[in-house]
Structure 1
Amino acid sequence: MPVPLRAITVFHAVARAGSITRAAEELGVTPSAVSQQIQTLEVGLGTALIGKVGRTIVLTEAGERYFEMIGGGIDQIMEATQRIQGFRTVTTLTVRATPSLSTKWLLPRLAGFIDAHPDIELRLDGTNEPTAFQKESVDLEIRHGTGGWPGLYAEGLVEESFRPVCAPALAASGSLAPDDLPRHRLIHSVKSQVQWAHWFKLAGVTPAARWRRLLFDRSHMAIDAAARGFGIALESDLMMGGDLQAGRLVCPVETPPRVTLVTQWVTCPPDHLRHRKVRVFLDWIRQERDAWAGERARIV
């Protein structure tokens, strides 16, 4: 029996959203209407495409293969339709990133992306919670971690350099030796992959068993606290580059140990890379990353 094109596009929406309810909202119909279209498609194809695990829907093996085969074609149809309409249709791109990266690095640069892509409505979701892509309507995540998440495309954003920083009123640039630091209040980003104990070991310093501490669970708060003169923070130049360039922060150690690490990763399911909105955002963030890396040599 012929399979209605409407049923195929409804299945594509459900598979992409990972939810019948969310797909129904996107399509402007009821969940029961979506379920009926899926049933029509399954009867026409002679195989089950969607199953349930508890309250969560999952694609069957046949459903995954079918979604993979039709995905590119449906995306091309949608893009062609938008071009004929003069891009009057707004496409929403949802990007999830940590609050610190969102505030300190992404937000100051977003104007360029927004101006270059007026057809894309950007939603920036600032949270540390990792995305469950099968359950959430998130297109792309910039995830804090060590990389290597099974089943996800992961691209390191940039190699970061970690160094001590403080307000210039607390200590001038290059005015302290590494073993001077334990005498000051040290600001800790408790979720950072680079901690003071590791830095002191690299610097050949054995601090006292106890020292004055101020702890934050967000890097942007630790950076702002250091800029206000509360103490000395150990932070990434990716997060605090703007504060260093503006002179709100300086590195009080003349030759600090070199500590470099990739902690931010652009991630998504591989099939999301087919979507034009994801590809253009990836191209943009790579350009911004490269431009920032070129400027980094001038950060004092």
Structure 2
Amino acid sequence: MYLPLRAISVFHAVARAGSVSKAAADLSVTPSAVSQQIQSLEVHLGTSLIAKVGRGVVLTEAGERYFAMIDEEIEHIGEATQRIRGFRSITVLTVRATPTLSSKWLLPRLKSFLDAYPDIEVRLDGTNEPTDFSREAVDVEIRHGEGRWPGVFIEGLAEERFLPVSSPSHCAAGSLTPAEIPRHRLIHSVKSQVQWTHWFSLTGVTPATQWRRVLFDRSHMAIDAAADGIGLALESTLMMWRELQEGRLVCPVRDPPRISVTTQWIVCPFDQLRQRKVRLFLDWLRAEREAWQRLAASEAGAA
């Protein structure tokens, strides 16, 4: 039986990219050539596979079913082709995350993912700019915000607790009352969802109109500044887990108010959840989250 293999592979590329132009770039051909191959396949199958929506495309019901049936098989063909040519199959996974999460949480854990899946090559982009998935070749984003972005898959990474922290050489653990906090230089993360003013409102403390403070536009800078003894920071346990674990940061306040917020969200288009590399990365992220949560709970219980 004749199979239009070229047209099938082009359809697969379009379905994964969600765009004729992106698929054309991936295949190093013109968009018109891609469109011709899709039309040829639709004629061969006797049904419509894709429909235009704005600047992108979506799969029809028949297209969804067809893609689900061929996706893994085409991946296997690609891997087999690379192996028979004498090369190790490499799949690139592009992850975008905020600079603080990238450096403080993802990087210390990334080796376990790379060791578990040596056929996947990771590109990690550390930026606060949200991804336009219709234009950018990003597979998964971990986005800072409140988790309200329509039209994409969204899952909270983890619930974080915000604590005042300092170097133990600056203030010993549990050595201060909330009323004593304004006497110290306060480190501000200007983009954080939890600010000192909110913390003071929960403790009933009214600080002086003029504070000694230093401001940073990245939380990782605020965390490092606190660990270096510059002052007191109000930061997320998710971001400063290593500094807390190693004792480079401590909470100087006795019985601080509990502030728990989810600020980091896993985001990607729904159709990219079909991709093996995305599924594996999300499963790994969830396992790492659970491990961190267990550790945080055991340390809180020990304290």
Fold shared by both chains (TM-score > 0.5): yes
| Cα separation, 1, equivalents of 2:77 and 2:41 | 23
Q: What do the CA deviations read for 1:212-241 (whole angstroms, capped 9, x no partner)?
A: 221111111110111111111000000001
Structure 2 residue aligned with 1:222: 222
Residue identity matched to 2:106: L
Structure 2 residue aligned with 1:194: 194
Structure 1 residue aligned with 2:71: 75
CA-CA distance at 1:121 after TM superposition = 1.0
Q: Percent identity?
A: 61
CA-CA distance at 1:255 after TM superposition = 1.0
Does residue 144 of structure 1 match 2:144?
yes
Q: What do the CA deviations read for 1:90-120 (whole angstroms, capped 9, x no partner)?
A: 1111111111001000100011100000111
Residue identity matched to 1:285: L
Structure 1 residue aligned with 2:255: 255
| Cα separation, 1, equivalents of 2:147 and 2:211 | 33
Structure 2 residue aligned with 1:59: 57
Gaps of 5+ in 1: none
Q: RMSD value over aligned CA atoms?
A: 2.4
Structure 2 residue aligned with 1:240: 240
CA-CA distance at 1:16 after TM superposition = 2.5
Residue identity matched to 1:69: R
- The question of whether the paired residues in 1 share the 8 Å contact of 2:12 and 2:71 is answered with no
Structure 2 residue aligned with 1:183: 183
Alignment CA distance shift 1:117-1:33 (3 Å): same
| Cα separation, 1, equivalents of 2:26 and 2:69 | 19
- Residue aligned with 1:206, SS: coil
Alignment CA distance shift 1:52-1:237 (3 Å): closer
- The question of whether the paired residues in 1 share the 8 Å contact of 2:155 and 2:266 is answered with yes
Alignment CA distance shift 1:64-1:184 (3 Å): farther
Structure 1 residue aligned with 2:12: 12
Alignment CA distance shift 1:260-1:46 (3 Å): closer
Q: What do the CA deviations read for 1:235-265 (whole angstroms, capped 9, x no partner)?
A: 0000001011111111110211111111111
| Cα separation, 2, equivalents of 1:229 and 1:144 | 27
Count of matched residue positions in the alignment of Structure 1 and Structure 2: 294
Does residue 273 of structure 1 match 2:273?
yes
- The question of whether the paired residues in 2 share the 8 Å contact of 1:18 and 1:136 is answered with no
| Cα separation, 2, equivalents of 1:58 and 1:266 | 22
- The question of whether the paired residues in 1 share the 8 Å contact of 2:186 and 2:212 is answered with yes
| Cα separation, 1, equivalents of 2:53 and 2:113 | 38
Structure 1 residue aligned with 2:299: 298
| Cα separation, 2, equivalents of 1:187 and 1:172 | 17
Structure 1 residue aligned with 2:34: 34
Alignment CA distance shift 1:154-1:259 (3 Å): same
- The question of whether the paired residues in 1 share the 8 Å contact of 2:174 and 2:251 is answered with yes
| Cα separation, 1, equivalents of 2:79 and 2:166 | 51
| Cα separation, 2, equivalents of 1:270 and 1:244 | 36
Q: What do the CA deviations read for 1:274-296 (whole angstroms, capped 9, x no partner)?
A: 11111111111111111111111
CA-CA distance at 1:83 after TM superposition = 5.9
Residue identity matched to 2:71: D
| Cα separation, 2, equivalents of 1:127 and 1:250 | 28
| Cα separation, 2, equivalents of 1:214 and 1:295 | 31
CA-CA distance at 1:42 after TM superposition = 5.8
| Cα separation, 1, equivalents of 2:242 and 2:132 | 32
| Cα separation, 2, equivalents of 1:51 and 1:270 | 17
| Cα separation, 2, equivalents of 1:154 and 1:8 | 30
Alignment CA distance shift 1:68-1:47 (3 Å): closer
- Residue aligned with 1:101, SS: helix
- Residue aligned with 1:122, SS: strand
Q: With structure 2 as the length reference, what TM-score do the two structures score?
A: 0.88
Structure 1 residue aligned with 2:126: 126
CA-CA distance at 1:29 after TM superposition = 3.9
Structure 2 residue aligned with 1:88: 88
Structure 1 residue aligned with 2:206: 206
| Cα separation, 2, equivalents of 1:84 and 1:210 | 67
| Cα separation, 1, equivalents of 2:270 and 2:141 | 12
- Residue aligned with 1:291, SS: helix
Structure 2 residue aligned with 1:164: 164
